[in-house]
Copies of this chain bind each other. A is one copy, B any other.
Amino acid sequence: MSDPRPIGVFDSGVGGLTVVNQMQDILPQEDIVYFGDTARVPYGTKSKETITRFSVENVEFLMTHDVKLVIVACNTASSLGLEFLKRCFKVPIIGVIEPGAKCAVSRTRNRRIGVIGTSATIASGAYEKAIKKINPGNSVFTGSCPLFVPLVEEGWIDNPVAYTIAGIYLKNLKAKNIDTLIMGCTHYPILRRVIKDAIGPKVLLIDSAREVAKEARLVLDSCGLFNRMSTKGEHRFFVSDEPGRFIKMGEKFLKKKIKCVKRAL
């Protein structure tokens, strides 16, 4: 069986392109429809109700493209809206929390895992719940880093200010003797070097994007949804604000040229 329909991916903005980047590698034959909610970005400082409402609208938009699977590539929307989305839609839906949590649990040696993310993601406790569900024996330590997203958007990813801010945010986590740190926001891998510098070289950094792409492959496989008729998928991008800024920022996340971006919603 072969299913030629595209996979839908949404994020509050450009960050979810790190997931598309990994999907190019792991699911190269699949078409992707990406939606970035750039008119209403960021989600990380907003309430559960608002994030859920936006997420439902985003999936409704993806459904107009007849997607066979939805990936919530935004940590905040995954933390706060995923359960509601699963109840609303019949299509399979994957978030980024569980794959990241699974990976961290499988990699930690001392069972002390750190998680960083937006205020909303950290306040939701979603990562703690996911990690404890897999293995209650793990200790989880969390910290929100609200200035990381603006720093990335400003392009100050190797600026001394970024190192100072990371040092302040990660000071408490560093004292917890963690050996694994989940970067629980799709913007954070862009600050990998800065985060590594602050948390120390021995701590393993987990980027959910690759794990999510692997989980997508697993779901497509188990549901018989692979596109077996293609070798190279087509990627289409939609945003809710003017595309210029998305293209400029997005190419850093996608690590290749973005050609066609359309306005939607």
Contacts and interface: CB of A to CB of B under 8 A. Distances in A.
Contacts of A150: 146-147, 150
Contacts of A48: 242
A55 interface: no
A147 to B, nearest CB: 6
Interface residues of A, number: 28
Interface string A27-49: 00000000000111100011111
A165 interface: yes
Contact of A242 (B49, B54, B154, B240): B49
Give the one of A54, A240, A241 with max B CB within 10 A: A241
A110 interface: no
Interface in A106-127: none
A154 B161 contact: no
B147 A151 contact: yes
Contacts of A26: none
Contacts of A154: 146-147
Interface string A231-256: 00000000011101100000000000
A158 interface: no
A178 B232 CA distance: 57
B147 A241 contact: no
Contacts of A147: 147, 150-151, 154, 156
Nearest to A42: B42
A45 B241 CA distance: 10
Given A41-B45, A47-B245, A48-B242, 9 more contacts: A39-B54, A46-B241, A47-B241, A50-B240, A147-B147, A147-B154, A150-B150, A161-B161, A161-B168
Interface of A: 38-41, 45-50, 54, 146-147, 150-151, 153-154, 156, 160-161, 164-165, 168, 240-242, 244-245
